[in-house]
């Protein structure tokens, strides 16, 4: 069994600053980690914590140091990707010793957690809100999928490669999801396992992302895509053409991805104190 704790969209800024002028994201992250540690007897053990971007709201060294201090309290390996609010070089400097963190270029990496392979893809276009995959990132994905052997694979990125229905976010999603779909189709969906070991395992590959501050499930090239909720705020699923843009203070949350008994399960959890469980009568 391999279990990955999935956090996203922390948007941390150094106090007394507040993200979007209102969110005390450093405090909210501390509360989230407190909550996770309290629930560890129920949700652990974790093999790693995966953070799929917008780690910082302003890309500052100080914000990344706050994040590192808090996440280290979880006492598991940290896997980290940038989002559109991040800056590569400050992130790389503060997290240089993380598993797989490259010394230069896009922050693409591959880390094996026991039986599970996790592939991180950098979708950041610095100075823009939408995301894209560089040719090198797609080649990294192709290589890492091709030599995964019999391992199940979790592919992580910040920008969703699917439409989510949150219209103002869909306008700044991954702009080249068809290129990602083409690699997945070639390596995972169509490949013949008899000639390319480890390929042809669509059910054993899952894509996970952030960006939309909500738990949403879809599919790309027949592969399940899971977007995780944010630790600091939420975006409403409002399908009206004139839906307002903005955020809500709740619900905040995270996801847990399990590879167990030959199958993935991905479960969204809220950062709230639960009253219960109560016995059935």
Selection from 54, 51, 106 nearest residue 84 by Cα: 54
User: CA 31 to CA 277: how far, in whole Å?
Assistant: 22
Peptide bond into 251 cis (omega under 30): yes
Contacts (Cβ under 8 Å, ≥6 apart) of 27 = 15
pLDDT, position 276: 73
Taking residue 84's Cβ as centre, other Cβ atoms within 10 Å add up to: 19
The order of strands in the sheet holding 116-120 is 109-113, 116-120, 153-156, 205-209, 223-227, 216-220
Model confidence over 24-41: pLDDT tens digits?
999 999 999 999 999 999
The backbone torsions φ and ψ at residue 116, rounded to the nearest 5 degrees and listed phi first, read -100, 135
Model confidence over 215-250: pLDDT tens digits?
999 999 999 999 999 999 999 999 888 889 999 999
Radius of gyration of the chain (CA): 18
For residue 220, the cross-strand partners are 223
What single string gives the DSSP state of each residue in 34-91? HHHHHHHHHH---SEEEEES--BSS--HHHHHHHHHHHGGG-S-EEEE--TT--HHHH
Give the rounded percent of residues in the chain with a pLDDT score beyond 90.
83
What's the distance, CA 232 to chain centroid?
A: 14
Cβ-contact 47, 4 below 8 angstroms: yes
Return the SS3 of 166. Answer: coil
Which residue ranges form the domains of the chain, and what is each CATH number? 2-270 (3.60.21.10)
Polymer length of the chain: 281
Q: Is the dihedral of CA 138, 210, 231, 7 positive or negative?
A: negative
User: CA 126 to CA 58: how far, in whole Å?
Assistant: 12
The backbone torsions φ and ψ at residue 63, rounded to the nearest 5 degrees and listed phi first, read -65, -40
pTM for the full predicted model: 0.93
At which residue do the structure tokens 């396992």 appear?
Answer: 193
Model confidence over 110-164: pLDDT tens digits?
999 999 999 999 999 999 999 999 999 999 999 999 999 889 999 999 999 999 9
Model confidence over 51-68: pLDDT tens digits?
999 999 999 999 999 999
């Amino acid at each position: 069994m391999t279990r990955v704790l999935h956090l996203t969209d922390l948007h941390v800024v150094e106090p007394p600053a507040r993200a979007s002028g209102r969110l005390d994201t450093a405090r909210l992250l501390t509360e989230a980690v407190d909550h996770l540690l309290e629930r560890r007897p129920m949700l652990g053990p974790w093999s790693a914590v995966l953070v799929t971007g917008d780690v910082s709201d302003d890309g500052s060294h100080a914000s990344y140091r706050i994040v590192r201090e808090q996440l280290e309290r979880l006492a598991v390996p940290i896997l980290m990707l940038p989002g559109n609010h991040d800056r590569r070089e400050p992130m790389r400097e503060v997290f240089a010793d993380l598993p797989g963190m490259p010394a230069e270029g896009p922050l693409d990496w591959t880390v094996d957690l026991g039986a599970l392979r996790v592939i991180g893809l950098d979708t950041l276009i610095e100075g823009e809100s939408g995301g894209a995959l560089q040719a090198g990132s797609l080649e990294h994905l192709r290589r890492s999928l091709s030599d995964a052997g019999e391992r199940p694979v979790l592919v992580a990125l910040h920008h969703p490669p699917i439409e989510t229905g949150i219209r103002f976010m869909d306008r700044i999603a991954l702009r080249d999801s068809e290129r990602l779909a083409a690699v997945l189709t070639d390596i995972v969906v169509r490949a013949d396992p008899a000639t390319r070991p480890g390929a042809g395992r669509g059910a054993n590959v899952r894509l996970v992302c952030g960006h939309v501050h909500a738990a949403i499930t879809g599919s790309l090239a027949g592969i399940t895509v899971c977007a995780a909720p944010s630790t600091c705020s939420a975006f409403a699923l409002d399908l009206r053409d004139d839906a307002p843009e903005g955020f809500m203070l709740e619900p905040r949350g995270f996801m847990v991805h399990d590879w167990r008994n030959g199958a993935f399960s991905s479960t969204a959890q809220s950062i709230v104190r639960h009253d219960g469980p109560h016995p059935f009568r």
